[in-house]
């Protein structure tokens, strides 16, 4: 097992603190945000059933924006909102993970709201 650095331990603590307060249901799923070193990944998760309803990533040929910049975050958020609305989901809870709510995370959330979803 890998020994975590102080920075990684703090990030895990922040993530656990956020997740202890929110949970997704079928009517109001959780929007989980993940930024890898190269890409943005967003999932719509029903925690009660334990399944992913929809997922969008900036990887692959179908991606409208590449990378993990703000433009990619906006594209991923808008695309996830379109998929969610097609599934009949118009409300969700936002899980920012261990990241602060500014920059790319804020742009992603605003793109979801602009498409008509309530976060």
Instruction: Give the pLDDT mean for 24-43.
Output: 94
- Domains of the chain, each with CATH number or no CATH: 6-114 (3.30.420.100)
Which pLDDT value is given to residue 99? 93
Instruction: Give the pLDDT mean for 41-47.
Output: 95
Distance separating alpha carbons of residues 68 and 89, to the nearest angstrom = 26
Which pLDDT value is given to residue 71? 94
Q: How would you classify the pairing of strands 51-57 and 40-46?
A: antiparallel
The pLDDT tens digits of the residues spanning 72-83 come to 999 999 999 999
Distance separating alpha carbons of residues 40 and 55, to the nearest angstrom = 11
Q: Which residues contact 61 (CB under 8 A, 6 or more apart)?
A: none
Instruction: Give the pLDDT mean for 76-99.
Output: 95
Which pLDDT value is given to residue 1? 78
The DSSP symbol for 49 reads T
**pLDDT above 80 for 107:** yes
Sheet holding 51-57, edge to edge: 51-57, 40-46, 30-35, 93-95
Residue 73 CB: number of other CB atoms within 10 A? 26
In percent, the amount of the chain with pLDDT more than 90 equals 87
In percent, the amount of the chain with pLDDT more than 70 equals 100
The DSSP symbol for 91 reads B
Token pair recorded at residue 30 = 């959780």
Query: Are the C-beta atoms of residues 100 and 33 closer than 8 Å to each other?
Result: no
């Amino acid at each position: 097992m890998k020994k975590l650095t102080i920075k990684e331990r703090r990030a895990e603590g922040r993530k656990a603190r956020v997740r202890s307060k929110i949970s997704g249901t079928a009517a109001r799923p959780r929007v989980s945000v993940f930024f890898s070193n190269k890409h943005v990944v967003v999932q719509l998760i029903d925690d009660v059933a334990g399944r992913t309803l929809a997922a969008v990533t900036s990887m692959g040929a179908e991606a409208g924006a590449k990378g993990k910049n703000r433009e990619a975050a906006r594209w991923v958020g808008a695309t996830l909102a379109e998929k969610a609305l097609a599934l009949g989901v118009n409300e969700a809870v936002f899980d920012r993970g261990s990241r602060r709510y500014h920059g790319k995370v804020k742009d992603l959330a605003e793109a979801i709201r602009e498409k008509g979803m309530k976060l």
